[in-house]
Chain A
């Protein structure tokens, strides 16, 4: 057992500051455990959102020593002895209180995404998908919606004005998952360009860096989407596609 110093943000939109707490941390504890101990012993009303405490629900997102992380997956032995550990709310979204922010932005973006438009079934009335068809999308489906990628994305974080026409990394992989879905018949290209604002992303990969599920958001999601956008104005690809389409029709 060791005593650690936690520097926790306390306050709301009206104002607030970091407050230092000395608290005991046991072996194997994660930051969330220490926060809970604080709540139970020193600060009953310390606001903090959490659910599963196993890295599966994505509720306890915060910024620990300035880095967006899940508190439940940040082990205390990550820090040097005597190091002051700062815990701040995720800063890209409006604060409610202490470590809790209003993430409604993400739910609005989610709702705007055109849903799956199902292709007609096979002749026997069933749908078939091969494992190789879905491997790459299953990676996107691992997303636990912790919104750390949304928080760290500088388009959302530092450029408030762009929020309106920008979906953010979480929803780029959602869109990529739909675009690559073997049963989907819709074309979301115009949506991805305009409403989702993919051009604003400068692929600096912080989303990938912070993803607790280790999803390759940029390489496997955003860049393939950008490439799909490029297809729509690439004459060579269009010619090839037309040729291939003709061949298929002819066969």
Chain B
């Protein structure tokens, strides 16, 4: 056994990932009375959910009584360029309000309306002010609430523990094998059901709002275990990330800045978003500054400001302005709230943005505009799941949150992520618990599988003078940034795939120094495998989809193609080969279709 013993734990349900979705899944599974293990790569409460700023989209109707789930559903589908799994979008819109109220009953403190209900804020692509929020640190509130509720539910939490591979007993999953990051020792989890809630893949790009954890572990684990991935070509570049200083390039600037009145300008002071309103959104978007400014106060009689178009539109617009030489000094656009809102209002509504710019960039956002530019933020694609149960195509495997695909289609609306985590986190936890209860037979783990993984994991230590893992990671990020970025073309995608192929070959020869105790070089080396896998999936799918839609823009196919609007790109591993096929979207029932006829 690769030189040492390993500890072993057994649970009915094992949840991998302790962000919003993972915690919500674990809480729900524990509520069903099964034994639950929760594994996280970082410390509990540090997951990427804490970075979410703007809010949780839920049609509570507290600010605009006209709002309801149908409107939210419609916004979500239109934002996703109709490529969403309609059933997921429907469940999401229907259940989000209850999930938010539940958080409040667990102690969350959202900002309030005058009559003591949850205040909601404007966000891109949402017809009404819909995001329940706490200033600009909603994700923090959410994860703390779930964390402190969760620790009293009898869940076993395994912190700083990384899962390397899912284990299978025939077709079904039966466990997971990994190591403690702190000691480097192996650990085996036997589990009847496994929920993946590992988040996204943003670390494959150079300029990203994502932390080191976002290496696509869950996507890769699922793929290696034989599950399907869908929509991997759709990656969201958030339009507003910091661009200066270089060391903080990519750190997120919340959409709440625009929701609360901020506007984008180019170096000539022009509000350029008025020049980028696509046909699809013309009916609901203001075409002059006066109407756009009135909209913040009066949504019934005015159309939405183009600053709050869906993220893909805004990101592309900034990209175009910069390329045309109208960008800010450090190659972004200006985001101006200081001339539009009073300083006190800004500090109250956007405290952490104020703090972030003050401390990291020496910019006082109540006095100066921010400089912002697109940053890799979210992957819409992920593990293909059943809408109601969150079950993946492998029995016993479930997925929720960013790692799951389908919910957001070609582009996610801001605020829909936190609600997605809650709605489908709960559903995944519930289904996994029920599956575990009904699963017959013994949990048997094949020693051969375990030992093969163990050997692979410690192999980098035998290659003291192998490839530098940091250098390989940086090369991959550079490749994805330049060749599989916001705007893509066939030749660049092919070039990217070639480079990824070569990097894969080099990754096999990666070597590390030191020992297994908390060794970041080793951790980086191990994360490379999943990072390369998801990068390949993304580039392959992007090459396949010969149209532009949402988070996938092809320079060589600049228009939306209706035929492509009816299919998902589905990927699966067959042997060692990544197979790809197109599958028709599930048909939306007539009563939901009718929602799109009413108002264009």
Is the Cβ of A97 less than 8 Å from the Cβ of B247?
no
Q: Decide if A103 touches B43 in the complex (CB within 8 Å).
A: yes
Bound CA–CA A25/B251 (angstroms): 19
Is B468's CB within 8 Å of the partner chain A?
A: yes
A137 to B244, CA, bound (A): 33
Scan B134-160; emit 1 where CB is below 8 A from any A CB, else 0.
Answer: 110100110010001101100000010
Interface contact A130-B182, CB-CB below 8 Å: no
Interface 9-residue window, one of B85-93, B355-363, B539-547: B355-363
Q: Roughly how many angstroms separate A178 CA and B107 CA in the complex, as a whole number?
A: 8
Question: Which of B518-526, B552-560, B571-579, B588-596 faces chain A?
Answer: B518-526
Contact A39 B112 (CB under 8 A): no
Residues of B within 8 Å of A174, CB to CB, are 148
Given A28-B361, A141-B109, A141-B144, CB of A12 within 8 Å of CB of B517: yes
Contacts A102-B182, A115-B149 given; does A57 touch B111 at CB 8 Å = no
Q: Which of A41-49, A161-169, A217-225, A242-250 contacts B (4 or more CB under 8 A)?
A: A41-49
Contacting pair A115 B115 (CB below 8 A): no
The interface stretch among A79-87, A121-129, A200-208, A230-238 is A121-129
Please provide the chain A residues from 86 to 131 with a CB less than 8 Å away from any CB of chain B in the complex. 96-98, 100, 102-103, 107, 110-111, 113, 115-116, 118, 126-131
Complex contact B148–A110 (CB within 8 A): yes
Interface string of A32-60 (1 = CB under 8 A from B): 01000001100011111111111111110
In angstroms, Cα B109 to Cα A113, docked, is 18
Judge if B483 is at the interface, Cβ distance under 8 Å. Answer: no
Give the number of chain A interface residues (Cβ < 8 Å). Answer: 59
A19 to B211, CA, bound (A): 28
Q: Give the nearest-CB partner of B214 in chain A.
A: A51
Stretch at the interface among B44-52, B189-197, B287-295, B307-315: B44-52
Q: Is A158 an interface residue (CB 8 A)?
A: no
CA–CA, A12 and B247, complex, Å: 29
Name the residue on B nearest A104 (C-beta). B159
Which chain B residues border A185 with CB–CB below 8 Å?
A: none
B393 at the interface (CB under 8 A from A): no
Any B CB within 8 A of the CB of A30: yes
Instruction: Select A129's contact among B116, B246, B352, beta carbons within 8 Å.
Output: B116
Check A51 against B105 for contact (C-beta < 8 Å).
no
Q: Nearest Cβ distance between residue B200 and chain A, in whole angstroms?
A: 14
Q: Are B211 and A51 closer than 8 Å at their CB atoms?
A: yes
B152 lies within 8 A of A115 (CB)? yes
Partner of B116, one of A100, A110, A130: A130
Contacts between chains A and B (CB distance < 8 A), count: 162
CB of B359 within 8 A of CB of A116, answer: no
Contacts of A33 in B (CB 8 A): 247
Say yes or no: A145 contacts B518, CB within 8 Å: no
Query: Across the interface, do B470 and A39 meet the contact criterion of CB distance under 8 Å?
Result: yes
| Nearest chain A residue, comparing its CB with the CB of B111 | A131
**In the bound complex, how far is the Cα of B150 from the Cα of A110, in angstroms?**
11
CB distance A181 to B107 under 8 Å? yes
In the complex, A181 Cα to B182 Cα: how many Å? 37
Partner of A54, one of B45, B112, B212, B252: B252
Decide: B518 and A100 in contact? CB cutoff 8 A: yes
On chain B, the residues within 8 Å of A194 by CB distance are none
Indicate which residue in B46, B517, B520 contacts A96 across the interface (CB closer than 8 Å).
B517
Give the residue name and chain of the B residue nearest to A47 (CB).
Answer: B518
Cβ contact within 8 Å between B152 and A40 = no
Contact of B104 with A by CB under 8 A: yes
List the B side residues contacting A183 at CB < 8 Å: 105, 107
Given that A26-B246, A116-B106 are known contacts, is A144 also in contact with B361, CB under 8 Å in the complex?
Answer: no
Chain A nearest CB from B464 CB (Å) reads 11
How many B residues touch A, CB cutoff 8 Å?
Answer: 62
How many Å from the CB of A115 to the closest CB on chain B?
A: 5
Please tell me if A229 contacts chain B, counting CB pairs below 8 Å: no
User: Which of A48, A103, A116 contacts B107, CB < 8 Å?
Assistant: A116
Q: Is the CB–CB distance between B246 and A46 below 8 Å?
A: no
With most chain A CB atoms within 10 A of its CB, the pick from B109, B151, B159, B474 is: B109
Bound Cα distance A52, B213 (Å): 9
Interface check B245, CB cutoff 8 A: yes
Instruction: Encode contact with A along B235-264: 1 for CB under 8 Å, 0 otherwise.
Output: 000000000111110011000000000000
A58 to chain B: which residues have CB within 8 Å? 46
| Given A28-B361, A100-B182, A107-B44, CB of A45 within 8 Å of CB of B117 | no
- Which of B115, B116, B141, B521 has the most chain A CB atoms closer than 10 A to its own CB? B116
B225 adjacent to chain A (CB < 8 Å): no
Report the nearest B residue to A128, measured CB to CB.
Answer: B116
Q: Does B471 lie at the interface of the complex (its beta carbon under 8 Å from any beta carbon of A)?
A: yes
Residue A22 at the chain B interface, CB threshold 8 Å:
no
Bound CA span A45–B359, Å: 29
On chain A, the residues within 8 Å of B471 by CB distance are: 40
Supposing A27-B245, A45-B514 touch, asked if A75 and B360 sit within 8 A by C-beta, the answer is: yes
- Collect the chain A residues with CB atoms within 8 Å of residue B245's CB: 26-29
Q: Bound state CA distance, A30 and B246, in angstroms?
A: 11
Task: Determine whether the beta carbon of A52 is less than 8 Å from that of B211.
Answer: yes
Q: Given A26-B247, A28-B247, A45-B520, decide whether A52 and B104 contact each other with a Cβ distance below 8 A.
A: no
Q: Is the CB of A54 within 8 A of B251?
A: yes
The complex places the Cα of A170 from the Cα of B360 at a distance, in Å, of 25
A57 contacts across to B, CB distance below 8 A: 42, 46, 50-51, 211
Residue of B nearest to A45 (CB): B514
Q: Which 3 pairs across A and B sit closest by C-beta, in order of nearness? A: A28-B245, A45-B514, A44-B521
20 pairs of residues in contact across A and B, judged by CB atoms under 8 Å: A40-B474, A44-B520, A49-B42, A50-B212, A52-B50, A55-B360, A96-B182, A96-B518, A97-B182, A97-B518, A102-B182, A107-B159, A127-B104, A127-B105, A129-B112, A131-B111, A144-B50, A174-B148, A178-B107, A181-B109
Chain B interface residues toward A at CB < 8 A: 42-46, 48, 50-51, 104-107, 109, 111-112, 115-117, 134-135, 137, 140-141, 144, 148-149, 151-152, 159, 182, 211-213, 244-248, 251-252, 351-352, 355-356, 359-361, 468-471, 474, 512-515, 517-522
Please name 16 further chain A to chain B contacts, defined as beta carbons within 8 Å, in addition to the given A96-B517, A183-B107, sorted by A numbering: A26-B247, A28-B246, A28-B248, A40-B474, A45-B512, A52-B211, A55-B355, A57-B50, A97-B517, A110-B148, A116-B106, A129-B109, A131-B112, A138-B135, A142-B351, A145-B45
